Amino acid sequence: MVAPGGGGGGGGGGPARWPSEEELDIVRKKVVEISGRDEREVRVAACPYRICPLGAHIDHQGGIVTAMTINYGVLLGFVPSNDSEVLLRSGQFEGVIRFRVDDLQKPIDNPENINWESYARGAVYALQNSGYDLRKGIIGYISGVKGLDSSGLSSSAAAGIAYLLSLENVNDLVVSSVDNIQLDKSIENKYLGLENGILDPSAILLSRYGYLTFMDCKTASPSYVYFSELSKSQQPQGHLPFKILLAFSGLQHNLPKKRGYNTRVFECKEAARALLHASGCEEASNILRNVDSVVYEAQKCVLEENLSRRAEHYFSEMKRVAKVTLVMLPRNG
């Protein structure tokens, strides 16, 4: 996902390749303006947005979700700093970020203080707390798609992963996609205080062009199915048997600043606790994935109204994913 200054990179191919050379050139030129460096030195991290056709909002309960990336996303152009300083500008937000990668980052204690700078600092925090040695910073320019930030396409995870990839690149760190999923989860869970699961970083880092990704969020294991199997016919190379419509209401939500998301996660865990207690399985951790569907049907009467809604959503989404799994027969790999 990191393209050198002279190359194309990213995107996964197909008729609507992302990022385009024009988009890459714009980002490179912005970095040159900021850093004064040669354009050939500029590297670009490309992190696409994602959609979740089935299994929404059950990843934090260890559910099985489906995901795919789209041909829009976040581009972070950067060059290595001469020292440990990070200097960043944004295409969507005003101001300049300046801090050092050798400064100790501490979790944000007030959600109201979260802004676009937080994701860069959060990436440093995640790497620091996982024992990675950061000596070099970056000088960079980050840009998403106007109007699509905080719109439900996981722009925050795309930004967090872009910062992780860039810092790893300039510090010569070799980090697997699986480890980067957990590092991004650390940004969200530990630094920002958002109790989400691994759907977003998994989709961004593990998706393949032309395939639907099935992610088991309890075991963190992906499976894939080629879309031509869904249509039961072979498509011309580079063409998918469907089109995707993104319907955006115009309402944007910055989840780390909203208390409602964490409240819903808490209610899911409380529902799991009540169901496990009623079935005599109190030793299992309180996530709904640990509740058998037969137990749920037998014991759901013990749940209060709010908890009942959370559990019903989880089990209904799991049923929908299971039906698609039977039809599409995903292949491991």
pLDDT over 90 at 219, yes or no: yes
Question: Which DSSP string corresponds to 138-186?
Answer: EEEEEE--TT-TTSSS-HHHHHHHHHHHHHHHHTT----HHHHHHHHHH
Cα dihedral 228→232→234→238 (10° resolution): -20
The reported pLDDT for the residue numbered 149 is 67
Taking residues 79-104, report their average pLDDT: 96
Neighbours of 137 (CB within 10 A): 27
What pLDDT does 124 receive? Answer: 98
Q: With 80 as the cut, is the pLDDT of residue 235 above it?
A: no
**Is 200 part of the annotated catalytic residue set?**
yes
**CA atoms of 195 and 174, how far apart (whole Å):** 27
pLDDT higher than threshold 70 for residue 25: yes
Query: Residue 244: its pLDDT value, please?
Result: 78
CA distance 85 to 138: 7
Q: Which residues pair with 135 in a beta bridge?
A: none
CA distance 184 to 199: 11
pLDDT in tens, 29-84: 999 999 999 999 999 999 999 999 999 899 999 999 999 999 899 999 999 999 99
How crowded is residue 10: how many other Cβ atoms within 10 Å of its Cβ?
21
What local confidence, expressed as pLDDT, does residue 7 receive?
Answer: 35
How far is it, in rounded angstroms, from Cα 188 to Cα 198? Answer: 10
Residue 85: burial class (beta carbons within 10 Å; 0-12, 13-18, 19+): middle
CA distance linking residue 263 with residue 268, whole number of Å: 9
pLDDT-based confidence at residue 6 (cuts at 50, 70, 90): very low
Confidence of residue 306 (pLDDT cuts 50, 70, 90): very high
Per-residue pLDDT reduced to its tens digit, 145-203: 876 666 678 789 999 999 999 999 999 999 999 999 999 999 999 999 999 999 999 99
Is the distance from CB of 153 to CB of 67 less than 8 angstroms? no
Give the model's pLDDT for residue 118.
96
Q: Is 122 helix (H, G, I), strand (E, B) or coil?
A: helix
What is the overall mean pLDDT for the chain?
Answer: 88
Closest to 236 measured CA to CA, from 20, 14, 70: 14
Residue whose structure tokens are 């152009």: 77
Cβ atoms of 176 and 116 within 8 Å: the answer is: no
Percent of the chain with pLDDT over 90: 70
Task: List the domains of the chain with CATH numbers.
Answer: 17-230 (3.30.230.10), 258-328 (no CATH)
- Please report which confidence band the pLDDT of residue 86 belongs to, taking 50, 70 and 90 as the band edges: very high
The catalytic residue among 59, 149, 200, 216 is: 200
CB atoms within 10 A of CB 189: 17
Structure confidence at residue 249 (pLDDT): 73
